[in-house]
Structure 1
Amino acid sequence: MQLGRQILSRHTRSQRTMKLQVGLLIASVTWAAASPFRETRNKLLLVSFDGFRWDYDQDVDTPHMDRLVKDGVKAKYITPPMLTMTSPSHFTTITGRWVEDHEVVHNMMFNTQTNEKVPHKKTLTRSEWWDNGPLPLWITAQNQGLKTASFFYPGGGANYSGQAVNRVLVEKAGHPDDNETEWRQKIDTVMSWFSQEDFDLVTLYYGEPDNVGHTRGPDHPDRKKIVRQIDRTIGYLTEAISRHGMNDSLNVIITSDHGMTTVKKRPLVDEIILNKYVNLLKVASFEILDYGGFGILTPRPGKEQEVFEALSKAPNLTVYRKDDMPESFHLARSRRLPPIVIVADLGFNLNSRFIVYVNKGDHGYHNGEMDMKMIFRAFGPDFKKNFLSEPFDSIHIYPLMCRLLNIQPAPHNGSLKVTQDMLLHSGGPQSVTVSLVTAIFIFMLLLTP
Structure 2
Amino acid sequence: MRPGVFLCVLAAALCVAAKPLSKAKNPNRLLLISFDGFRWDYDQDVHTPNLDRLSRDGVKAKYITPPMITMTSPSHFTTVTGRWIEDHGVVHNMMFNTTTNLKIPHKRALKKSEWWDNGALPLWITAQNQGLKTASFFYPGGAANYSGQAVNRALVEQQGHPDDNETEWRQNIDTVMNWFSQEEFHLVTLYYGEPDKVGHDKGPDHPKRKEIIQQIDRTIGYLREAIARHGLTDSLNVVITSDHGMTTVKKRPQVDEIILRNYLNLLKLTSFEILDYGGFGIVTPRPGREQEVFDALSNAPNLTVYKKDELPESFHLAKSDRLPPILIIADLGFNLNSRFIVYVNKGDHGFHNGEMDMKTIFRAFGPDFKRNYLSEPFDSIHIYPLLCKLLQVEPEPHNGTLAVTEAMLHSGNTTYQTYSIMLSDTI
Corresponding residue of 1:153: 139
Corresponding residue of 2:13: none
**Aligned-pair CA distance for 1:39:** 1.3
Corresponding residue of 2:211: 225
Q: Show the 5 A alignment for 1:85-104.
A: 85-104=71-90
Corresponding residue of 2:325: 339
Deviations 1:86-130 (A, max 9, x none): 000000001110000001000000000110100000011100000
Corresponding residue of 1:302: 288
**Aligned-pair CA distance for 1:35:** 9.2
Deviations 1:402-421 (A, max 9, x none): 00000100111000000000
| Paired AA for residue 151 in structure 2 | V
Aligned partner of 1:73 among 59, 63, 71: 59
- What TM-score results when the alignment is normalised by the length of structure 1? 0.88
Corresponding residue of 1:214: 200
Asked if 1:277 is matched to 2:263, the reply is yes
Q: Show the 5 A alignment for 1:239-388.
A: 239-388=225-374
- In structure 2, C-alpha distance between the alignment counterparts of 1:432 and 1:341, rounded to whole Å: 38
- In structure 2, C-alpha distance between the alignment counterparts of 1:158 and 1:428, rounded to whole Å: 34
| Paired AA for residue 362 in structure 1 | D
- In structure 2, C-alpha distance between the alignment counterparts of 1:35 and 1:152, rounded to whole Å: 27
* SS class of match (1:382): coil
- In structure 1, C-alpha distance between the alignment counterparts of 2:298 and 2:377, rounded to whole Å: 33
- In structure 2, C-alpha distance between the alignment counterparts of 1:97 and 1:285, rounded to whole Å: 30
Q: Is the 8 A contact 1:81 1:99 kept in 2?
A: yes
Q: Is the 8 A contact 1:251 1:380 kept in 2?
A: yes
Aligned partner of 2:398 among 412, 418, 425: 412
- In structure 1, C-alpha distance between the alignment counterparts of 2:356 and 2:69, rounded to whole Å: 14
Aligned partner of 1:111 among 92, 97, 118: 97
* SS class of match (1:235): helix
Q: Is the 8 A contact 2:277 2:335 kept in 1?
A: yes
- In structure 1, C-alpha distance between the alignment counterparts of 2:106 and 2:393, rounded to whole Å: 31
Superposed CA RMSD in Å reads 1.4
* SS class of match (1:186): helix
Corresponding residue of 1:24: none
**Aligned-pair CA distance for 1:429:** 3.0
- In structure 1, C-alpha distance between the alignment counterparts of 2:222 and 2:159, rounded to whole Å: 27
**Aligned-pair CA distance for 1:36:** 4.3
- In structure 1, C-alpha distance between the alignment counterparts of 2:417 and 2:164, rounded to whole Å: 45
Q: Is the 8 A contact 1:420 1:426 kept in 2?
A: no
Aligned partner of 2:69 among 75, 83, 94: 83
Asked if 1:64 is matched to 2:50, the reply is yes
Q: Is the 8 A contact 1:36 1:403 kept in 2?
A: no
Matched-pair identity in %: 78
- What TM-score results when the alignment is normalised by the length of structure 2? 0.93
- In structure 2, C-alpha distance between the alignment counterparts of 1:57 and 1:175, rounded to whole Å: 25
* SS class of match (2:374): strand
| Paired AA for residue 301 in structure 2 | P
Corresponding residue of 1:133: 119
Corresponding residue of 2:12: none
Residues 432 and 51 from structure 1, CA distance in 2 versus in 1: closer, same or farther, beyond 3 angstroms?
closer
Q: Is the 8 A contact 1:64 1:235 kept in 2?
A: yes
* SS class of match (1:246): coil
| Paired AA for residue 229 in structure 1 | Q
Q: Is the 8 A contact 2:389 2:417 kept in 1?
A: no
Corresponding residue of 2:33: 47
- In structure 1, C-alpha distance between the alignment counterparts of 2:166 and 2:133, rounded to whole Å: 28
Unaligned runs of 5+ in 1: 1-30, 434-449
Unaligned runs of 5+ in 2: 1-15, 420-427
- In structure 1, C-alpha distance between the alignment counterparts of 2:245 and 2:219, rounded to whole Å: 20
* SS class of match (1:245): coil
User: Alignment length, in residue pairs?
Assistant: 402
Corresponding residue of 2:148: 162
Q: Post-superposition, which runs of at least 4 consecutive aligned residues in structure 1 deviate over 4 A?
A: 34-37, 430-433
Corresponding residue of 2:422: none
